[in-house]
Amino acid sequence: MGNPTGGQEQQSVLPAKHLRIYSFYKHGYNDTYFRENIRLINYGTFSHSLYDFAGLQLAYGLTHRLTLEHETGYFLQKQLRYNDPQLDALTRKGYGLSNGVLGLHYALWSHPRSATEFSVAAALKYSYQSSPLEVDGVEMPVELQPSTGALGFVARAAFVTNLSSTGLTVFLQHRFETNRPNYRNYTFGNAHHTSLGLGMPLQTWLYANLQLRNEYRSSDTTPSAARLASEGSNLLIASPALSFQLPAQFQLTLFAELPVYKYYFGEQLSYQYAFGIGFSRQFSFLSRQSL
Amino acid sequence: MIKVTPKTIGFFICFAVFGCLKIGIFEKAIHLPVKRILIPLFTLLFLGCYEEIIYDENPFLIKKKELHFQSLATQNPVINMGTSAYIFATATGDSLTFSWSVSEGNLQTYDTLAKFSHQQEGFYTIECTIADAYGNSETRSVVIHVTEQLVFTGFVIQDTIVPVNYSIPVKAIASGEEIAFVWSADGGEVTGEGSEISFAAQAPGMYLLSCTVTDLAGEEQTLHVQIEVVDGFVFKSLVADPARLPAHDNAVITASALGENLSYRWTCDPPANLLGSGKQIIFNICHADIFTVFCEITDDKGNKQVKSVKITVTDL
């Protein structure tokens, strides 16, 4: 479990004394059980699950090579619905603050003329909650908890380059997340996200982006080593996005996520789609003299 | 269950579009940069065609309950001639049928309830056989003593530990000719008359409640019951039914408590799906483990009590 991706991740470091704010809304939907890569129709305890998430990503360029980054968000709702109408009538929605991720992003090598950069980032993942979410006096299940309730660590490496002849931007990024046991001694599995992206200007005010992301998750664990609700998965997700340049240097991004290949360890409800909208703006705090 | 081969409609569509793009059928209609995007995209969609298993009926909605004959009980194990004993059968299972029998006497049955009377003294065995939809059955029996003497069997009382000001109903189980009941207590308050009264006390302590039963012949019998009155509320029990179940099945967990304005808080370790709220919830989980469900009850004065129950979930 982690913060949902926002359709516009920061691949390169920011210039010094620049602040970038990106906020987004994302809706995600899961249904249909998978056993490994076999689709199971008319099967399972749950009919579907969904979430609505509002995310906020902040980045500030400390130097021309080093950027301070923070991401967080709030689950407006998390739903887990049952096939059994008797159980479905009793289900409740989860909500609340997700994890915070605070870290540093450093450009190991950059070539400004070709807009090529290789950077690494390391971050601490933390939880705002020290106890599980309860609704009407009842503890919500793991799937409806808004955060991991545990410390974690996030590492990232990104390569981005601009093919000046075509105007194409290409990036390759790997993100690794690991979690510590939480207040229930429940450990969420590790996640490896590998993204390959292509960005292309269609108009001066319109930019298209297609990202192909592999999401590998290992199983959650408990001290009793029992099988768990989330036993891990290996997904290949296509994520197209369109960014519009708005007045006052605002940027609007529309994005979607469609899994093109799904493999689930054990039997799990599978990812169907997600879509969202984001706004971003970059502010400069450079003095006029330094400009 | 029907197993479908991976040749789904999507497979064919993706394969066809992919093939058309490769051999250049859309050469004039589609510009080269677009084609360069479409070919890998449809290659991926082609990968996204899965083998399917279609279930005629969702196996997780088929809830088969094992036959569980919980009890065969009566409040009147000794009765007078001319009076009746009521026998209750408690069981869980699917489409249960109840068959009652006795060697002699008058037996009227209403599924889970039987009413027995006889005009001759003696001991009579009443049998109850419960059968479920799957051909399983179980038989239990209870013995009823019919006598001419005055019989004062005892009391039916929900609990002998109750909170202050809690009105607890008490019933005296007795039979005989034109019997009369006289109740007394060494404190607290008795309200009502006849075989059923209510008892309440305003202060904590031990109270002795007495009942004297007299029949037409003047014969009398006296029995006592001790009731403990405590501050706060009484958390009687926390029960999971069943306490052992296969993954994906449901267990009903019930907290029984005596008191006013109680609020219930439920947690589970390791985490599981707890559905509902209040004094009864449903437990459900999709994997095997041993779970401890905690129920914390709080009253409006801030008194708190916690009980837990263990639930063993086995693999399907």
Sign of the CA dihedral with B107 first, then B110, B114, and B115 last = negative
- Separation between Cα atoms, residue B200 and residue B185, nearest integer Å: 10
Radius of gyration over every alpha carbon of chain A, rounded to an integer in angstroms:
20
Closest CA to B185 of B173, B166, B170: B170
Q: Do A224 and B266 touch (CB under 8 A)?
A: no
Distance between B138 CA and the closest CA of chain A, angstroms: 29
pLDDT in tens, A213-261: 999 999 998 887 665 667 899 999 999 999 999 998 899 999 999 998 9
Distance, CA of B287 to CA of B292 (rounded, Å): 14
Q: Report the side by side order of strands in the sheet with B180-185.
A: B161-163, B220-230, B205-214, B180-185
Q: What whole-number distance in Å separates Cα of residue B18 and Cα of residue B54? A: 27
Q: Number of folded domains in chain B?
A: 4
Number of helices (H), then strands (E), in chain A: 1, 15
User: Which of B129, B147, B165 represents a domain boundary (last residue)?
Assistant: B147
Residue of chain B whose Cα is closest to the Cα of A88:
B275
**Are B277 and A136 a contacting pair at CB < 8 A?**
yes
d(CA A24, CA B106): 77
Tell me, yes or no, whether B63 lies in a domain.
no
Q: Are B239 and B225 in a shared domain?
A: no
Mean pLDDT estimate for chain A: 91
Cα-to-chain-centroid distance, residue B232: 26
Q: Are residues B100 and B158 in the same domain?
A: no
Phi, psi torsion values for A169, nearest 5 degrees:
-110, 135
Single out the residue in B147, B182, B200 at which a domain terminates.
B147
Query: Looking at the partner chain, which of A45, A90, A91 has a beta carbon nearest the beta carbon of B248?
Result: A45
Under 8 Å CB-to-CB from B19, ≥6 apart: which residues? none
Looking at residue A35, its pLDDT comes to: 92
Nearest chain A residue to B2 by CA: give it. Answer: A41
- Among candidate residues B93, B125, B136, B84, the one with its CA nearest the CA of residue B112: B93
A42–B281 CB contact, under 8 Å: no
Q: How far is B153 from chain A (nearest CA, A)?
A: 43
What residues of B are in contact with residue A186 (Cβ under 8 Å)?
A: 270-271
The secondary structure element, H or E, covering residue B98 is: strand B97-102
End-to-end CA distance of chain B: 18
The whole-number pLDDT of residue A288 equals 61
CB contact under 8 A, A83 and B274: no
Q: pLDDT value at position A78?
A: 96
Report residue A291 as tokens.
């400009």
Residue B22 contacts by C-beta under 8 Å, 6 or more apart in sequence?
B39
Same domain, B109 and B180: no
If one counts every other C-beta atom within 10 angstroms of the C-beta of residue A277, the result is 14
Provide the residue count of chain B: 316
Contact B271 A132 (CB under 8 A): yes
Backbone φ, ψ for residue B32 (5° rounding): -60, -45
Q: Domain containing B125 — which CATH number?
A: 2.60.40.1080
Whole-structure pTM value = 0.81
Residues of A in contact with B273 (CB under 8 A): 80, 141
Thinking of the domain A18-284, which architecture would CATH place it in? Beta Barrel (2.40)
Q: Would you write out chain B's pLDDT as a tens digit for each of its 316 residues?
A: 434 444 445 555 555 555 565 555 555 555 555 656 666 666 656 556 788 999 999 988 887 778 889 899 998 888 888 788 999 999 988 889 999 999 889 999 999 999 999 988 899 999 999 999 899 999 999 999 998 888 888 899 988 999 999 999 999 988 888 889 999 999 999 999 999 999 999 999 999 999 999 988 888 999 999 999 998 899 999 999 889 988 888 999 999 999 888 999 999 988 889 999 999 999 998 888 899 999 999 998 899 999 999 999 988 6
Q: Which of A42, A83, A136 sits opposite B54 (nearest CB)?
A: A42
User: Is B62 within the bounds of a domain?
Assistant: no
Strand partners, A163: A168
What span, in angstroms and rounded, lies between the C-alpha atoms of B217 and B214? 8
Report the complex ipTM.
Answer: 0.86
Other C-beta atoms within 10 Å of B90: how many? 12
Residue ranges in chain A modelled with pLDDT below 50: 291
Domain extents in chain A = 18-284
Per-residue confidence (pLDDT) for residue B216, from 0 to 100: 85
Asked, for residue B61, whether it belongs to a domain, the answer is no
Domain end call among B176, B211, B230: B230
CA A213 to chain centre: 11
Does B53 contact A39 at a Cβ distance shorter than 8 Å? Answer: yes
A35 chain-B contacts, CB cut-off 8 A: 53
In whole angstroms, how far apart are CA B196 and each of B83, B116, B258? 17, 22, 19
- Kindly identify which residue of chain A lies nearest to residue B262, measuring between CA atoms: A137
d(CA A10, CA A19): 12
Residue B59 lies in a domain: no
- List chain A residues with CB under 8 Å of B50: 34, 37-39, 262
CA–CA dist B61, A83 (Å, integer): 8
Searching chain A, which residue's CA lies closest to the CA of residue B52? A39
- Give the residue numbers spanning the domain of B49: 2-54
